[in-house]
């Protein structure tokens, strides 16, 4: 198998694993954006890309939680899918990850959290039906069939998130093949946008913390980072 498509398959496998960990088993926080993205980067040979994207997405989704019947955006899919796409983009350029590629990945795949929530709702309806049938089998004394029924309930999660993450990786590979046609000025703009995205994510995390003067600290931090970025850009010009 060509190494590019091997990485696509590996991205799908890791995405399926952390997707299952988030909803179906263990739930030991491996599915948090920082871990999911860093693990994806490590698996595909670009740990730095996973770490940087994971830090931003961890900050952005820091205040989310799945409480009762409420389903937040799927931060795990957002992290694993965005990182898979970024790594494959970078591999197509022949180098490592860059702020421009990270920014482009965040922009293009920003809707993965919402898509993941929609998928969660659809899959949980199917899983709930299997769970109900499993309880009926257990009450009827057919315990082995009941266990198998419950195990079958996790497979839709695995298959769906394998396909979604593999799809993100394949799409990233295709986009990466087009980056050589992007004007240099656009790439420079994307590179300078990355610190701004980090500032927004940090401000979002501060606001979501409900700490005293959280909004003020988020505003100050964003202003300082933006000012530093502008000064650095002026010096390098």
- List, for residues 171-220, the tens digit of each pLDDT value: 999 999 999 899 999 988 898 888 888 877 877 776 666 656 655 666 67
> Which two tokens mark 13?
């496998």
Q: Is the sign of the CA dihedral 154, 158, 159, 161 positive or negative?
A: positive
| C-alpha span between 155 and 174 (Å, rounded) | 28
What's the confidence (pLDDT) of residue 199? 78
Torsion angle defined by CA atoms of residues 65, 69, 70 and 75, in that order, rounded to the nearest 10 degrees: 50
Under the banding of pLDDT at 50, 70 and 90, the label for residue 1 is very low
Instruction: Report the chain's mean pLDDT, rounded to a whole number.
Output: 81
Residues 22, 55 within the same domain: yes
Pull the structure tokens for residue 235. 């010096």
Q: What is the mean pLDDT of residues 99-107?
A: 94
- Whether residues 38 and 125 fall in one domain: yes
Residue 126, CA distances (Å) to 5, 120, 135, 183 in order = 30, 10, 15, 47
Number of domains in the chain: 2
Residue 92 or 139, more confident = 92
d(Cα 41, Cα 44) in Å, to the nearest integer? 5
CA nearest to 230, candidates 186, 184, 199, 187? 199
Averaged pLDDT, 22-29: 73
The range of the structural domain enclosing residue 202 comes to 183-237
Convert 120-152 into a string of H (helix), E (strand) and C (coil): HHHHHHHHHHHHHHHHHHHHCCCHHHHHHHHHH
The values of phi and psi at residue 26, to 5°, are 65, -70
pLDDT level of residue 130 (50, 70, 90 thresholds): low
State the residue for tokens 């010009």: 237
Q: Are residues 168 and 211 in the same domain?
A: no
Tokens 């994510």 locate to 201
- Looking at the fold, whether 189 and 175 belong to one and the same domain comes out as no
69 and 178 housed in the same domain: yes
> Are 54 and 156 in the same domain?
yes
**Do 178 and 189 belong to one domain?**
no
Of 158, 182, 206, which closes a domain? 182
Q: Which residue has the tokens 């920003």?
A: 110
Tell me the three state secondary structure of residue 97. Answer: coil
What tokens were used for 12?
């799908």
Return the pLDDT at 147: 57
208 and 196 belong to one structural domain: yes
Q: How far from each other are the two terminal CA atoms of the chain, in whole angstroms? A: 45
């Amino acid at each position: 198998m060509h190494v590019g498509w091997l990485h696509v398959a590996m991205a799908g496998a890791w995405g399926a694993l952390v997707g299952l960990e988030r909803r179906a088993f263990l739930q030991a926080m491996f599915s948090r954006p920082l871990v999911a993205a860093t693990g994806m980067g490590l698996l595909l040979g670009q740990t730095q890309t996973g770490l940087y994207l994971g830090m931003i997405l961890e900050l952005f989704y820091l205040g989310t939680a799945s409480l009762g019947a409420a389903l937040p955006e799927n931060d795990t899919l957002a992290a694993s899918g965005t990182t898979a796409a970024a790594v494959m983009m970078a591999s197509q350029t022949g180098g490592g990850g860059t702020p421009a590629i990270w920014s482009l990945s965040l922009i293009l795949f920003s809707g993965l959290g919402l898509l993941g929530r929609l998928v969660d709702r659809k899959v949980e309806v199917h899983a709930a039906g299997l769970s109900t049938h499993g309880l009926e089998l257990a009450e009827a004394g057919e315990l082995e069939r009941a266990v198998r029924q419950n195990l079958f309930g996790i497979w839709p999660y695995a298959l769906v998130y394998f396909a979604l993450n593999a799809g993100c990786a394949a799409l990233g590979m295709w986009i990466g093949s087009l980056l050589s046609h992007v004007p240099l000025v656009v790439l420079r703009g994307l590179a300078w946008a990355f610190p701004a995205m980090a500032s927004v994510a940090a401000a979002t995390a501060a606001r979501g913390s409900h700490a005293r003067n959280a909004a003020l600290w988020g505003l100050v931090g964003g202003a300082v980072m933006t000012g530093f970025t502008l000064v650095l850009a002026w010096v390098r010009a």
